[in-house]
């Protein structure tokens, strides 16, 4: 929905996806499928190979020279980072009239300098998923384009490992799926009334 709403639905835009977790990966795949030039923006250089495997370019946010080289060139940055972070690290990437859209659910307030925004007419916006109609359109689009989420199925007894991995430096841009059906104990066969009579 934010790709369409903020003008990247017909392609031809330069789009950055900040935060390369499950939501960020889908952002990359959708933005590419819509015909945009796409950069995965990450703090973890360990995700570079995966970002490039998806077909996007990688921009490491901690590489000051690389960030300066891309300053003022992005039409749209979708920010999927789910924790408090420094918006001003990403704002210089925006071109004149560019938009930074916050998608990550962060409960703490952000701070940013307004002066650079005034002179470049850049915008900070927020977005959530669309309604039923736009969600169905997205589902139809991903089915047609064969766009899938990167997942790793893990047994329930590995849930602590998953949590530790997510809380540490997570270099794996996947969604973890707990395999409840195959890891929970099966109920023992209980003889029914018919067997007893």
The model's pLDDT over 11-26, given as tens digits with 9 standing for 90+, comes to 999 999 999 988 999 9
**Taking 60 as the threshold, does the pLDDT of residue 87 lie above it?**
yes
**Taking 70 as the threshold, does the pLDDT of residue 66 lie above it?**
yes
Q: Is 65 exposed, middle or buried (0-12, 13-18, 19+ CB in 10 A)?
A: exposed
pLDDT band at 89 (very low <50, low <70, confident <90, very high): very high
Strands of the sheet with 57-60, listed across from one edge = 57-60, 37-42, 14-18, 74-79, 94-102, 123-126
**Taking 60 as the threshold, does the pLDDT of residue 45 lie above it?**
yes
pLDDT band at 188 (very low <50, low <70, confident <90, very high): low
Beta bridge partners, 178, equal 154
pLDDT digits (tens, 9 = 90+) for 126-173: 998 888 999 999 999 999 999 999 999 999 999 999 999 888 866 778
pLDDT in the model for residue 160: 94
Q: For the chain, give the mean pLDDT.
A: 91
What pTM value is reported for the model?
0.87
Answer whether 77's CB lies under 8 Å from 98's CB.
Answer: yes
pLDDT in the model for residue 197: 45
175-179/151-155 β-pairing: parallel
**Taking 50 as the threshold, does the pLDDT of residue 190 lie above it?**
no
Distance CA 15, CA 77 (A): 6
Distance CA 28, CA 150 (A): 12
**Taking 60 as the threshold, does the pLDDT of residue 189 lie above it?**
no
């Amino acid at each position: 929905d934010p790709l369409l709403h903020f003008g990247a639905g017909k392609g031809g835009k330069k789009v950055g996806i900040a935060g390369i977790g499950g939501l960020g990966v889908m952002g990359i795949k959708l933005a590419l499928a819509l015909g945009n030039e796409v950069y995965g923006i990450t703090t973890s250089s360990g995700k570079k190979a995966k970002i490039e495997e998806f077909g996007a370019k990688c921009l490491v946010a901690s590489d000051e020279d690389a960030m300066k080289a891309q300053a003022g060139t992005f039409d749209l940055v979708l920010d999927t980072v789910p924790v408090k972070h420094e918006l001003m690290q990403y704002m210089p990437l925006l071109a004149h009239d560019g938009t930074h859209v916050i998608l990550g659910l962060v409960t703490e307030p952000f701070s940013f300098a307004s002066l650079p925004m005034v002179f470049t007419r850049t915008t900070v916006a927020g977005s959530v998923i669309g309604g039923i109609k736009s969600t169905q359109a997205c589902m139809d689009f991903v089915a047609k384009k064969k766009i899938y989420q990167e997942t790793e199925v893990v047994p329930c007894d590995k849930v602590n490992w998953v949590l530790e991995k997510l809380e540490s430096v997570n270099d794996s841009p996947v969604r973890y799926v707990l395999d409840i059906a195959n890891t929970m104990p099966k109920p023992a066969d209980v003889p029914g009334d018919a067997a007893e009579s």
